[in-house]
Amino acid sequence: NAGVTQTPKFQVLKTGQSMTLQCAQDMNHEYMSWYRQDPGMGLRLIHYSVGAGITDQGEVPNGYNVSRSTTEDFPLRLLSAAPSQTSVYFCASSPHGREVAGELFFGEGSRLTVL
Amino acid sequence: KNQVEQSPQSLIILEGKNCTLQCNYTVSPFSNLRWYKQDTGRGPVSLTIMTFSENTKSNGRYTATLDADTKQSSLHITASQLSDSASYICVPYDRGSTLGRLYFGRGTQLTVWP
């Protein structure tokens, strides 16, 4: 099993451009999520999904869209990139539901720079 | 407001030495707490989970403790190795909300020197 796969690993955008960060998992996990990690701060939740067709906002959702058409995939879309979105983005999945805080399995991260 | 404070922010030790990392949290109602290890340029990986009723749990050279009354947890690393160089992140879980409400600490950056 590959686990959680993120692409691309590195990306440079200009302000105003749009792009999609891809995330795929092959563990049949119900729960998937996107975090951003900035220097000196803990991981912050952007969006999450508890199953195909179900998504919800996290702590910092503005400027990002998600969809969950399949169990395996959970892409993160930047609608109009801003320098404040320069960060390292992590996708994570978990087999557990809401009552139990299951272990999160993280991807390797996608480093995004917005000029 | 739920918060997680980790100390020290960074730590340098010599290979073979022991160290203890601290985590204070105010998450309530508290369910459990995980420690994650994040190598440079990689995603975090879970080391151990402490539930409300557990005081101590070991995973090889890693020993986690939890005092739910004082809302403190620690991670003790014994006989450190170069591969222990990483950021260690404390993550308490608020059982009063959805799985989305995990609270990530800022981490302690540990550097092990030969």
User: Could you list the mean pLDDT of each consecutive 10-residue stretch along chain A, which spans 115 residues?
Assistant: 92 97 94 93 90 91 96 96 97 72 87 97
* pLDDT-derived band at B39, boundaries 50, 70, 90: very high
CA distance A16 to chain B (A): 27
* pLDDT-derived band at B57, boundaries 50, 70, 90: very high
Residue whose C-alpha is closest to residue A27's, from A100, A98, A88, A102: A102
CA torsion sign for A107, A112, B2, B5 is: positive
In this complex, how many residue pairs, one in chain A and one in chain B, have their CB atoms less than 8 Å apart?
A: 60
Q: Rounded CA gap, A89 and A10, in Å?
A: 10
Write down the pLDDT at residue B52: 82
CA distance A41 to chain B (A): 5
- Paired tokens of A46: 């952007």
Kindly give, in sequence order, each residue whose CB lies less than 8 Å from that of residue A12, ignoring residues fewer than 6 positions away.
A112, A113, A114, A115
* pLDDT-derived band at B99, boundaries 50, 70, 90: low
Write down the pLDDT at residue B53: 86
